[in-house]
Each structure stands twice: as structure tokens, then as C-alpha cells.
Structure 1
Amino acid sequence: MDAVTGEIGLFEVREPASQTIPFVFNSPHSGRHYPAQFLSESRLDEMGIRRSEDHYVDELFAHAPNLGAPLLLAHFPRAYLDVNREPYELDPRMFDGALPPYVNIGSMRVAGGLGTIPRIVAENMEIYRRRLTVEEGLSRIETIYKPYHACLRRLIGRTHATFGMSVLIDCHSMPGNIRLSGSDIRPDFIIGDRYGTSAAAELSRAAMYFLEGLGFTAVRNKPYAGGFITEHYGRPVRGLHALQIEINRALYIDEVTLRKRPDFDDLARALTEFMGSMADYAAEFGPDSALAAE
């Protein structure tokens, strides 16, 4: 198991030697540095706490800098803090004390236990033995969430200033048993564009086309249309595009042991080809195109 325990890391940007394409890749849920204190406060064992990870997604997209795009990746685990949420989606039942009035306590994600500081991991497994202090929860947001998003904003802003457009690819994974509603289809990939509001339709169609050309089954927006990051940073009328990509974990790990499958490297190579195809496609568009700022 490749999880890391000990002092928590924050995040890092892996930069290309020179950014040559208008893309930013982001892996916010693949962090696997679990601080010892966090593990000691959890009722879950080291395997159970990992159920909410987007396992090794950072490694699957590791060649993005070689193609000319930055890759932002989290080292902190999603179970500790979820940056794909509003900054203050918090469950008051988790805290010993009153939360500030600006906190969103009524979202569906909070109700489901999956707020900014999650209450559960997958399969409704409770994380904590005790309630957290309000100060502890707010500290995670101030010291990790806000710097992470500030970094992501800088990368997107720099890309847009350089190329006249930017394309954020928000990289995630999904359980292998996900099916399309009313069918037996288990997609290999889901492309989310918030039902056409976070990216130009041409980009979504191109992503689907390239994945299907590599032999995968790809669908759009169902059941995952994109989370807070996709919704928040996608402004296609300004040339700011955001796509979420979900990868079926059964393609590359054993979901019981969480160990990589023998064909892990084959999938990584396919995703490198996918990234290259997307970059070539975007290169066809200049600052005056439908993809760029209006």
C-alpha cells in the first residue's frame, strides 16, 4: 500500500519547462499523506480511511508537464479536507461548539456527510471518534483550502493571460460499480461539464471522441457532472473552460486491496495520448475562436 503516514503535506505544482499549451491539470483527491494524529482520531483503519481517495490519479496524469501543462496535486487526503467543495460546507454535528453564521450547513453534500471536512468516507463509514473543535475545522480551511485554491487561480489566470484561454482538467476516479441509470453500462470515463455550463461543447465532444478512439466507453455528465471546482472555475464565455474527468477505478486498481493492476502503465500511456490529443485540438483555436475570450 503506497499511502504515506506522518506529518501532512500540502500540495505541489509540477511545472513544465515551459508552458506551451493552454491547459491546467488538477488532482485534488489523490493525496495519500495521512498525519499520525488524524489516524489516531479516526475510528477507521489505514485501509478503510483510504476509501475516499482518487487512487493514484496524480500518477495517471503525471506526464502533463512533459506535454507543456502544469499539474497541481494535493498531498493531503480528501478524508481530511475536500477542496472540491465550497470553502465552508460544514456539518454542525461534527463540531464541539457553534459554527460561524456564514457557514453553509444545509447543502446536500453536508447532509450526505461529504462536506468540506467530511464526516464519512465511501460506504457511509464514519471517520471520527470524537467531535472536532470549531477552531480545528476552520484552521484546515485557512491553512490548506484557501492556499490550494489561490494556487489554482494563479495557474488558471497565468494560462489565460498567456494563451487568451485556459482549459482546466479536473482529474478524479470513481468506483468500478457505477452504472448509467436504467442500463447495464459501466462507463470507463465520465466527462463532466456541468451540463454545458463550464466548458464549450466542442471541448466536451473532443474529450469523448478521443477517449472512445482509444477503445474506452465514455459518457457525459451522468452520474457525475462536475463538482465545485468545475462549476466555480468554468466560465466559457470568458475563455475559461473546466472539464471534470472521472476514471473507473476497476481499470487500474484492485478495489479491495487498492493495489495497482498490471495494466496500470498501459492506462497511464493512454491518458498521456489523450492529453496530447486534447492539446493538439486546442492548438487549432486562436485567441479569436469560440473557445477563447469573447
Structure 2
Amino acid sequence: MSDAQIRDFDPAFEALEPDVLVAPVVFNSPHSGRVYPARFLQQVRLDLPTLRRSEDTDVDALFEGVVERGMPLLRAHFPRSMVDVNREPYELDPRMFDGRLPTFANTRSMRVAGGLGTVPRVVGEAQEIYARRLPIEEAMVRIDTIYKPYHRTLRRIIAGAHRAFGEALLVDCHSMPSLAPAREDRPRADIVIGDRYGTSCSPVVSDVIETVLRGRGYNVVRNKPYAGGFITEHYGQPQSGTHAVQIEINRAIYMDERSYRRSASFEALRLDLMALADGLMRLPLDRPGDWRIAAE
């Protein structure tokens, strides 16, 4: 366990913003945080390698080159196993806490039932994170000091792109384990595009992503098994000129999932994703019929 992995994070997240914004495209990596505060590790029953199974390890590094191209990237330093910003602000499991949850908490969502609320109960294949209940104040502090500031920053960056260009596209960047649960009936693709079944963005967005990545040899599918989480659903309002799409990358194509180290194919994937970013920069969001121009 390295000192970098157990230090207290300051800041909890980082907004990398270009000097000049050249396109209405915003990139977000909300699950790439890999700084585990010592206090958090004292609260959990799992070891660090197990906790890291919920990380989108190095996804922020795969997309970091967008900043020099003139597009912003927001990335987490805090771990997803501590607080998940791809949830509603108060998706909380009452079984996890000592104390009364606020009446406005969503305690009945499918994500809460699965142990994957705003403060997760499990990682991996339903491995319990905590040996005992947490004080309810712990959840409130994480939401107030990490979750809410993160979303305030994301809203600010999206709003800035929308003001500058009259439209905005949020690309929410994630990774997925290569081994699918038994309930999935086929091997996982290289890339899964999540657009909430066509509701979170203009069709041009998903079309260009699929065309560019298929053209570079990747197996690409849409919405199965990941259609997009809270961020995609919440920020994707194409009728208002704000589009959101989720990209899930199979970890096996860029890293060793056991050691968490980058594989030899990491750089090739990074370059392919920068080619995708270049295509998204040219997206005619208001003219879906022109999407082939952006894919060239």
C-alpha cells in the first residue's frame, strides 16, 4: 500500500480546464479516484485491493489529453467505494447507519437494494465494505463535502460550455470488469455506449462514437448492460441543448485487472480515444443528418 493511496485527499477532485474552450464537449471521470484516506480505511473491513475493484482505474489518464485539445476534464481523487457521485445525492440504505435518515432520502431505489447507493454498502460481487453500521453523520459529511461540491463544479463547467456555444455535450467516462456476471448471456464488448436508450443525447452523438470506435477495431454495443447512470440521466437534456452520453471501457483492453497496472495496449487505446475526442469536437449536434462529417 503506497503513501499516495492512503493520504487524505486535498482536493477531493480536480477540474482540468483549458485556457481557451474550443468545443462544447465536457469530459467527466467520476469513478477514477484512487486516494484512500487513512480514516476511511480504518472504518472498512476489506483490504485495499478488494476496495479497488470498484475503481475506474486510469480512466482519467486515458482521457487527460482532451484538455490540451481545448476541452475540460473533471476527475475524482476520492474513491467510489467511499461516496458515489453517479447516484442521487441521498440514495441511502437505512440498514447501513445508526441514526435516522432524512425524510427526503431515497431508500427504495434498485441501486440501494443492490448495495450501491450514494454511500455504497458493497463492492465487487456483493462484498460488504463495513463490519458495523456507520453514524448517519458520516454519510451527511461525505455528501456535503464531496458529493455536492463535485456536482456544483460539473454544473458550472457544463453551463460554461453551453453559454459559449449554445449547446453542450457531457461525456461520462467509466470502465467495466472484463468478466460479466453469470446473468449476462454473452461476453462483454470492448466499449458500451450508454445514452439511456436514445433519451439523453442527440442520435448523432452515439452514432459518431460507435462509428469512430468500430472503425478502429473495437467491439461496440449500446445500452447493454450499461445504459447510463444518474449523471447521464440527470444532465442529459437534449431538448434544452445539453446532451450526455456514458462510455464504459472493458478493463481488459488497457490494464491488468489483478495488479491494476497498465498493459501494453494502454497507449494505443488512449490515442484512439483522442481520435474520438477530435470527432466529438466537430459534432453538429443541431444537425443530426451531418454526423458522417464528424466521423471522418
TM-score (norm 2): 0.93
8 Å contact from structure 1 (residues 193, 243) kept in 2: yes
AA of the residue aligned to 1:17: D
Offset from partner CA, 1:123-164 (integer Å, 9 cap, x none): 111111221111111111011111100110011111011001
The structural deviation recorded for 1:172 is 0.2
8 Å contact from structure 1 (residues 179, 187) kept in 2: no
In structure 1, distance between residues paired with 2:181 and 2:111: 21
Q: Is 1:195 matched with 2:197?
A: yes
Specify the SS of the correspondent of 1:37. Answer: helix
In structure 2, distance between residues paired with 1:158 and 1:182: 40
Look up the match of 2:64: 62
8 Å contact from structure 1 (residues 85, 227) kept in 2: yes
8 Å contact from structure 1 (residues 180, 186) kept in 2: no
Offset from partner CA, 1:225-270 (integer Å, 9 cap, x none): 0000000000111110000000000001111121111221111111
The structural deviation recorded for 1:289 is 4.1
Q: Is 1:5 matched with 2:6?
A: yes
Specify the SS of the correspondent of 1:178. Answer: coil
The structural deviation recorded for 1:181 is 7.9
**Structure 2: where are the runs of 5+ without partners?**
290-296
In structure 2, distance between residues paired with 1:95 and 1:243: 33
The structural deviation recorded for 1:290 is 5.8
The structural deviation recorded for 1:98 is 1.2
The structural deviation recorded for 1:45 is 0.8
The 3 A distance-change label for structure 1 pair 195 and 137 is: same
Look up the match of 1:34: 36
In structure 2, distance between residues paired with 1:204 and 1:87: 27
In structure 2, distance between residues paired with 1:184 and 1:235: 32
Offset from partner CA, 1:1-37 (integer Å, 9 cap, x none): 7762111331111111211011000000000010001
In structure 1, distance between residues paired with 2:209 and 2:164: 23
Residue-pair matches, total = 287
AA of the residue aligned to 1:52: S
In structure 1, distance between residues paired with 2:267 and 2:199: 33
Look up the match of 1:83: 85
Look up the match of 2:126: 124
Look up the match of 2:144: 142
In structure 1, distance between residues paired with 2:249 and 2:166: 29
8 Å contact from structure 1 (residues 187, 217) kept in 2: yes
Look up the match of 2:47: 45
Q: Is 1:256 matched with 2:267?
A: no
8 Å contact from structure 1 (residues 28, 84) kept in 2: yes
8 Å contact from structure 1 (residues 11, 72) kept in 2: yes
Q: How does 1:75-224 map to 2 (within 5 A)?
A: 75-178=77-180, 184-224=186-226
The structural deviation recorded for 1:183 is 5.4
Q: How does 1:271-286 map to 2 (within 5 A)?
A: 271-280=273-282, 282=283, 284=284
In structure 1, distance between residues paired with 2:95 and 2:157: 36
Q: Please give the root-mean-square deviation of Cα atoms over the aligned residues, in Å.
A: 1.8
The 3 A distance-change label for structure 1 pair 182 and 57 is: closer
8 Å contact from structure 2 (residues 204, 288) kept in 1: no
8 Å contact from structure 1 (residues 174, 249) kept in 2: yes
Range moving further from structure 2, 189-198 or 3-12: 3-12
Offset from partner CA, 1:75-97 (integer Å, 9 cap, x none): 10000000000000000011011
AA of the residue aligned to 1:239: G
Specify the SS of the correspondent of 1:140. Answer: helix
TM-score (norm 1): 0.93
